[in-house]
Chain A
Amino acid sequence: MKPRASTGQGLRSRPRRRPGPRIRSGRVLECWSIGVLPSTEIGPRMLRRGLAIAFIAIACLFLSSTSALLAISRTLEEANRHKILLINEISEPQSLDPQIAQGQGEHEIVSALMDGLVENDEYDQSKVVPGLADRWDHNEDYSVWTFHIRENAKWSNGDPVTSQDFVDSYRRLLTASLGAVYSDALFIMKGAKDYYDQKLTDFNQVGVHAEDPQTLKIELIGPTPYFLSAILHTSWFPVHMPTILKFGRMDQRDTKWTTPGNYVGTGPFILKVWRQNDVIEVVRNPLYWDAANVKLNGINFYSIENSDTAERAFEAGQLHKTLDVPLDRIPYYRREHPERIRIDPYLADYFYRLNTNRKPLDNPKVRLALNLAVNREEIVTNITRAKQTPETGIVPPAMTGYEPLDIIHYDPERARQLLAEAGYPNGKDFPKFNILINTHEAHRVIAEAIQQMWKQELNIDVGIENQEWKVYLQSQNSMNYDMIRGGWIGDFMDPVTFLTIWTTGNGNNDTGWSNPTYDQLIDQAAHTGDPQKRFDILHDAERLFLGEPAVVCIYWYTRVYLLDPSVKNWYPLALDLHNFKYIDLETPEETAAPK
C-alpha cells in the first residue's frame, strides 16, 4: 500500500509566504486615528498644533498595540471557554475530498469531517474502536471481512449511512479517470486492480458487496491481519454520492461539494468556514452517531507554513498546538517550559537513499561502510536534540509488537575494512559524489555533520547539494541523484508499511535496489495468516535489506510540537492520528480552580 506522499514532513522545506492569524493592529490603529484626528483638522496651521497631533498619533499607536496585545492574550482563554481548539496545519489543503486529499494535514482535517468503518483509539495506535460499523468479523485467515453498520449512523444532511454508500464510494475511487493518488490503497481488495486497469468492467466482481443495507462484506486478495488499521486511512471512508453528483460528474475533481454549506460528511464535525490560506473552521455535528461524546464545540485549523511564525503565534496565546518546533528552539523549551513541549515517539525514519545503479554505490560493501561510519548517537544528542533514537534498523520501535532490529551501528574500524575490501583502501580513488538535500537549515546541518564524519573516518570527500522541494522530489522520482535525503512515515501499524517500499519496482523504492529473495519474502509474508510467523518472515526480509542497505540509516523520528497545557486527552500516538471526539479543553474556571 502506497503511503502518504509527504516524506519526512517534520523537517521538510516549506515556502515562507504568509504569516498566520495576524494581530490586526494595523486596522485598529486606522480606526483610532480617524476617530481622533478627522482629516479636515490637519491643515497647515501652527507647528505646535502639528506636534500635538504627532503626540496624539504616537499615543494612539501605543494604545492600539497594547489593546491588541490584551486581545490576543485573551484569545486562548476565550477559545477554551467556548471549547474551540485552535491548531496549526502545515499548509493550505489541496482538497477536503477524502478520496483526493493527499497530505498529512488534509488527512487530519478530513478525519474531523468524515468517519470510517472504524476510528482511531484514544491511546493506542495499534487498536481501533468502532466507527460507522459497530461490530465486524473475519474468516480464519483474515481475508474476508464483514462489517455491520450501526443503525444510527447518519450523514450530516440526515440520510442514513448504508453499506451501498461504501460500495459506491469504492467504485468512485477505483475509477481511473478520477486520478486519485490513493486508488492503489484499495488494491488489496479482490478484483480492485483489474477494475482500475479496466480489465474488469463489472464492479460486482470486485470484492466489496452490500449484503443488506446494514452489512458490508469485503474480500481481500490475501490474509491481511492489519486490515482494521489500514481502513483508518481516508481512502477507505465513504463519500456521499448524491451530493457529489449534484455538483458534477462522479469522476470530477474539485467541484463545489467540498465547500462550506455543501459538504456532507459523517464525522463528529461539519465544515463551517474555509478561508483560503487562512483558516478552516469546523463545528460540532449534531447528527454524528456518537455526538453525545464529542467534547469540543469546534476546531479551527490554521494554515501557518512557517514554523517560526507558528511558534510566535503559540507564544502569543493564539494556538493550542503547533505542527512542529523550530530546531534551535527545542532546547529552550525542554529547559524552560517542559510542560509546553511534547516529544512523542513517531512511526517514521530519516535516512539517505543511495542510487544503487551508480558507482561506487552499486557495491553493497561501500553502502554498508558508509552506514557504519555514521555516528548516529552524536547526531541525535547534539543536532536534532529531541529524543530521536539512532536508526539501527528499518522499522521504528514505535511499531508496537514488532521487535526493532539492532543491526546498523557506529563501527568505523569495520567500515574502513569494508571500504578497503571494496577496493578503496583509506578512501583512495573514491569517486566524489553529492548528498542531495531539499533546501532546509536542519537538513543542511545534518548533512554537513555526516560529510565531516565520512571525511574523518573513511577519508572520503562528498559534496552537498540542495534543491527546492519540488525539484528535489523530481530528482528523487527520476533517480537523478547519487545520494538523496529521504524520510518515510508509516501509514498503519504494521511493519509492511516500511518494508514493501523496497520491493522491486515499488513506486517509492527510488533507489534501484532489487533483490528477488526480498520480494519473495515480502510476498510470502502477505500470504501468511499466523502473526508470529509473519513477523519472523518480515524480520528475515529486514535483515536481508540491512545486509546490503540501499539507504544510510540516520535516526528514528520523534514528533515534536508545542501543546498548551489546557488541551486534555491529547495522548502520544505513534501515527499521530488523533480522534478529535476525545479531545477536550480545560475551561478558564477549571484552570483557576485549585487542584
Chain B
Amino acid sequence: MSTALTTTTAPETEPIHGSSLWNDAWFRLKKNHLALFGLGFFLFMICICVLGPFFTGYRYEDTDLPLKASPPLDKIISRVETLKNGDVKQKNLALSNIEDEFLELPRPERKALATKLANGEQYTSGDVRYELSKQRHFFGTDSLGRDLLTRVLIGGRISLAVGFAATLVSVVIGVIWGAAAGFIGGKLDNLMMRIVDILYALPFTVIVILLMVMFGRNFILLFVAIGAVEWLTMARIVRGQIISLKHQEFVDAAVSLGLSGPRILFRHLIPNVTSSIVVYATLTVPNVMLLEAVLSFLGLGVPPPMSSWGVLINEGASAIQTSPWLLWIPASFFSLTLFSLNFLGDGLRDALDPKSAKD
C-alpha cells in the first residue's frame, strides 16, 4: 500500500510530501464501499431533509381532519356540499375510509359505492356530491390528516439536528474533561474520573426527567440533556489516550522546549487523539438520535405539533393495527440513517486506525 501512496502523492519534479493523516484516511475510506455508501446515503438524507419540505406542497402542522389516517398514495374523494345559503363546503375524504361516510347503507352497497368512486365516477346524494380528487399524499396522512412525507422530512431535520448538536456538546465537554484529567493526573484525575463514574451510575431517563421538571420542557434542553449524558464515555477514551501519549518522547521534547501545559495539551496531545474522537463522535450521532427517539417515545421529546422521527415512530406504534404505514415509513427512514452512520463510523475507525497506517 505504501508504494501506491508514494506514486500518487509524489510527482517526480516536486519534492516529496508526506501524506497527512487525513489523506491516508480518505484513501483507505475510499476502498471501503460500505462506508462510502453510508457517507453518500447520509449526505443524501441531510439534503432531502433540509430541502424536501419546501417541495412537498404541504406544511407539517396543517391538519385535514376529515381525511384522517390514509395509506400512501390513497385516492382522495372530495365531498362537496352546497349549503342552503348558496355557500359551498368542501372536504377531503380518503378512499380507504370512505365507507364510514355511508354506514347507514348495507355493506355490499357501501363496497360497491367505494369502487365506483375509486373509478372516477361521481356520486350525488341530496346537496352533497362526491368525486375523485387529483390530490395525493405520497406517504399518506396521519390520524389528523397531516401529510406524512412532510412530517418525516421535518422530523428528520430535528432528529439530525439533535444528533449533531448533542454530539458536539458531548465532544466539547468530553474532550476537555478527559484531556484535563489525563494530562494533570494525580488526585485531580482521580476526583474527575470518580465524578464521571457517579454520573455513569445515574439512569439516563431519570436525569432527563429531572432536568425537564426543573427547567421545563424545551428544545435546547433536549440537546443539552443528551449531550450532558453522552460525554462520559468520550471523557474516558480521551483520558486513556492522553495518559499513554504524555510519556512519549515528543511530549518530553515539548516540555524541554519550555512550552506551557495548555499549549502542550492543545497543540501536541489532542491532535494526536483526533482519530479516536472522530470515530467515537460518528458512533455517538446515531446513539444520540436513538436517545431522542426514546425520549420522544416516552413523551418527553419535542413538543407537538413539531415532529421528529422518534415522535412519528411513537405515534405509528400506537396505530400499528389499523395504519401500519405510520410506523413503517418513519421507522425505515430512521433505521436506514442509523445503518449508514454506523457503516460510516466503522469505516472511519478502520481508516483512522494508526495501526492500519503501518501496512
Which A residues lie at the B interface, using CB under 8 A? 308, 326, 328-329, 331-332, 334-335, 378-379, 381-383, 385, 439, 441, 444-445, 447-449, 451-452, 455, 463-466
Contact = CB atoms under 8 A, between A and B. Distances in A.
Contacts of A385: 100
A378 B305 contact: no
Contact of A328 (B103, B304, B305, B319): B319
A332 B303 contact: no
Contact of B303 (A308, A326, A441, A464): A464
Binding site secondary structure of chain A: helix
A383 B322 contact: no
Contacts of B65: 378-379, 382-383, 449
Contact of A378 (B66, B99, B323): B66
B61 A445 contact: no
A448 B318 contact: no
Nearest to A311: B321
Interface string B316-343: 0011011100000000000000000000
Which of B61, B62, B299 has its CB near the most chain A CB atoms (within 10 A)? B299
Contacts of B323: 328
Given A329-B321, A334-B100, A382 B299 contact: no
29 contacts: A328-B143, A328-B318, A328-B319, A328-B321, A328-B322, A329-B321, A331-B100, A331-B322, A332-B322, A334-B103, A335-B99, A335-B100, A335-B103, A381-B66, A382-B145, A383-B65, A383-B144, A439-B299, A444-B304, A445-B144, A447-B304, A448-B144, A448-B304, A449-B144, A452-B61, A452-B144, A452-B305, A465-B217, A466-B299
Most buried by B among A328, A329, A378, A444: A328
A440 to B, nearest CB: 9
Contacts, number: 61
B236 interface: no
B217 A329 contact: no
Contacts of A332: 322
Contacts of B272: none
B287 interface: no
Contacts of A379: 65
B68 interface: yes
Nearest to A434: B303
Contacts of B66: 378, 381-382
**Residue of A332, A378, A447, A452 most packed against chain B (CB within 10 A):** A452
B32 interface: no
Contacts of A452: 61-63, 144, 305
B205 interface: no
B303 A463 contact: yes
A379 B68 CA distance: 11
B97 interface: yes
- Residue of B103, B145, B304, B305 most packed against chain A (CB within 10 A): B304
A465 B318 CA distance: 19
Contacts of B103: 334-335
A335 to B, nearest CB: 6
Interface in B261-282: none
A451 B305 contact: yes
A516 B170 CA distance: 58
A301 B129 CA distance: 49
A439 B145 CA distance: 21
Nearest to A379: B65
The 8 closest A-B pairs by CB, nearest first: A382-B65, A328-B322, A441-B318, A464-B304, A452-B63, A378-B65, A466-B299, A439-B299
Interface string B57-95: 000011101101100000000000000000000000000
Contacts of B62: 452
Contacts of A335: 99-100, 103
A582 B62 CA distance: 50
A445 B141 CA distance: 14
Interface string B294-306: 0000010001110
Contacts of B97: 331
Contacts of B303: 463-465
B104 to A, nearest CB: 11
Contacts of A439: 299
A464 B305 CA distance: 8
B299 A383 contact: no
Which residue of A326, A382, A452, A465 has the most chain B CB atoms within 10 A of its CB atom?
Answer: A382
Given A378-B65, A445-B143, 7 more contacts: A328-B322, A334-B103, A445-B144, A448-B304, A451-B305, A455-B61, A465-B217
Nearest to B326: A328
Contacts of B321: 308, 326, 328-329
A352 to B, nearest CB: 15
Contacts of B318: 328, 441
A176 B65 CA distance: 51
Contacts of A326: 321
Contacts of A331: 97, 100, 322
Q: Which of A308, A448, A449, A465 has the most CB of B within 10 A?
A: A448
Contacts of A447: 304
